[in-house]
Chain A
Amino acid sequence: MSDSLQTSPQVPQPSQPPLEPRADVIHDIGYRHYDGARLGRSYATRSLFLLSLRGSFGLGRSIKSKILPMALLAVISLPALIIVAVAVYTKMGKLPLEYPHYLSIMQFVIAVFVAAQSPVALSRDLRFMTLPLYFSRPLTSRDYVRAKFAAMFSAMFILTALPILIMWVGSLLASMSFGYNLEHFAYGLVAAALYALLYSGIGLVIASLTPRRGFGVAAIIALFLISEAVSGIIYGVLTVKGHDHAAHWAIMINPGSLVDSTVTWLFNLRRQGLAGVPSTLGGYLFIAEIVLLAAATYGLLVRRYRKI
């Protein structure tokens, strides 16, 4: 307590100490509790999903992180646009290639996208150790995995479905057979979905293993490159020895050809290149493998994030 000389004449004796003992108190300086509605777990999961999806294309991040995904979108769409333009101008009756086969040609672009963007989705949280911050909210680790997996799948589906869509719209513009093209457009979408599912699962599992982004990118692309080279060699070896049909078993280790072959067999499309199943049993096994791989990668992710 202090007293200013300029104020009141009533001044207590200088020797008198302050009267009551000082109480320990916390003053209300305007901190307010939030008592409103809390949006809950599903909202949090949805938000994380949207954030990751946008981040896969660099939206909401710096310009540098937009370059690669947008470039890849352009690269995968450009040939489709060209094909469509040519088809319209020369008045072709049919598109020069099947919808799913376009994606098998563009396999590498899809692989590069998943290799570059899976670490973008997962490595930052691992490196800067923000996962405890996420998990100390209503969001559980399963929600986190669910959101990230769904986001990566959606991003990849956008990438793979876009050229398919372009081709279909082109077929409409060129007034090609509507029913036929609609049916094959559906096949193309199935192929797009399968590529998205398989690739995103593999990419995410590998990315979740390392906090270093560059290393994750290298590991994922290494897997795709090596699996393709190895399956190509095994295929070549088996063909050389005359086992033309059995050679297709080599496809089981190559995710890209796996999808391609399965879709070709499933919808009875024209075969091209390596695509093809060893037998009907093989076809079913391929489908089973795709489903199993997708489930296994998801399960591995859940396990990996259970304890951080």
Chain B
Amino acid sequence: MTTISIDRVSRWFGNVVAVNDVSMTIAPGVTGLLGPNGAGKSTLIHMMSGFLPPSSGTVTIDGVQVWKNQQAYRQIGLVPEREAMYDFLTGHEFVLANAELHGLPDPGAAAQRALATVEMEYAQDRKVTTYSKGMKQRVKMASALVHDPAVLLLDEPFNGMDPRQRMHLMELLRRFGADGRTVLFSSHILEEVEQLARHIEVVVAGRHAASGDFRKIRRLMTDRPHRYLVRSSDDRALAAALIADPSTAGIELDWTEKALRIQAIDFYRFTELVPRVAKEAGIRLLTVSPADESLESVFSYLVTSA
């Protein structure tokens, strides 16, 4: 059970502040680091992997500093974003070399296991230059897994993967998270993060914008009305009854969906209101679903308000 602690970390390059007073804790399980391009995700991952010292603050893994600490790499597996690898090696040789560099007792077996995990055995004897982008990504993953690390850091790992490879990689990461490893991956593609990570850390323009389960984050955003999609046996009557209550900010009749779109400013009051009103008016409720609890709406809210 390894935890990464980022404590009041800032990093600046001359006049440009890339990371601004960020504090976060990455616990075991899968965490998604989310943010637009240029938000500082790569900078944070480089600091967590010991390749960039923070200008202020500390980055520690289980209390031990990562910067200039070679032994820490026993527990860290890093999948960098840049594509460059030792091109003249075959996939198998590359993973094997990584296994040997870790000082593993049986590098051949470890390499074989790692390649099997990422399903790259069929191409392992071809040179890396002949690989497609997704294949290179998988070999990088294998090299990061070969020493069975407790922490896995992935910088934009789904770049260039086709849907099948992406699904496979997600399954892999899910399994690792369930095993108790600490997996952190960065992305700016919301669907990936939504499907994979329960816990997200949102970084916008170098600042830590939000942390936690994205649905719970949504609840915390009180100054934005919640939107609901409701279908019932009599939409108009229901609409009329709901608008009478102050917790409803606005109602739209959506012809295409044949439903009501309701904006509610008070979440708890509204959840109690709808069934009561429907029962009193004798209206049957067919569908009640939140229309904006997607990560996308959370994210766009965070990005625009930051």
Task: List chain A positions with a Cβ less than 8 A from chain B.
Answer: 1-5, 14, 17-18
Contacts and interface: CB of A to CB of B under 8 A. Distances in A.
A2 B235 CA distance: 13
19 contacts: A1-B256, A2-B253, A2-B254, A2-B255, A2-B256, A2-B261, A3-B255, A4-B252, A4-B253, A5-B239, A5-B243, A5-B251, A5-B252, A14-B235, A14-B236, A14-B253, A14-B258, A17-B255, A18-B255
Interface string B240-255: 0001000000011111
B260 to A, nearest CB: 10
A3 B256 contact: no
B239 A1 contact: no
A contact face: mostly helix, strand, loop, or mixed: loop
A17 B256 CA distance: 8
Contacts of B236: 14
B305 to A, nearest CB: 26
Interface string B258-273: 1001000000000000
B253 A18 contact: no
Given A2-B254, A2-B255, A2-B261, 17 more contacts: A1-B255, A1-B256, A2-B253, A3-B252, A3-B253, A3-B255, A4-B252, A4-B253, A5-B239, A5-B243, A5-B251, A5-B253, A14-B235, A14-B253, A14-B255, A18-B255, A18-B256
Contacts of A4: 252-253
A125 B36 CA distance: 30
Nearest to A2: B254
Contacts of A18: 255-256
B256 to A, nearest CB: 6
Interface residues of B, number: 12
Contacts of B254: 2
A247 to B, nearest CB: 46
A2 B239 CA distance: 14
A270 B260 CA distance: 100
Contacts of B239: 5
Contacts of B256: 1-2, 18
Interface in B25-70: none
A18 B253 CA distance: 13
Nearest to B251: A5
Contacts of A17: 255
Q: Which of A5, A14, A17, A18 has the most CB of B within 10 A?
A: A5
A6 to B, nearest CB: 9
Contacts of B255: 1-3, 14, 17-18
Nearest to B258: A14
A227 B21 CA distance: 59
Contacts of A1: 255-256
A141 to B, nearest CB: 25
A144 to B, nearest CB: 26
Nearest to A17: B255
Contacts of B261: 2
Closest 5 CB pairs of A and B: A1-B255, A2-B254, A3-B253, A2-B252, A5-B251
B78 to A, nearest CB: 25
A2 B262 CA distance: 13
Contacts of A5: 239, 243, 251-253
B173 to A, nearest CB: 32
Contacts of A3: 252-253, 255
Nearest to A1: B255
A3 B258 CA distance: 11
Nearest to A3: B253
A2 B253 CA distance: 6
A14 B252 CA distance: 13
A3 B239 CA distance: 13
A7 to B, nearest CB: 10
Interface string B187-215: 00000000000000000000000000000
Nearest to A4: B252
A108 to B, nearest CB: 35
Nearest to B239: A5
Contacts of B251: 5
Contacts of B253: 2-5, 14
B224 to A, nearest CB: 20
A153 B235 CA distance: 80
A3 B257 CA distance: 12
A4 B256 CA distance: 13
Contacts of A14: 235-236, 253, 255, 258
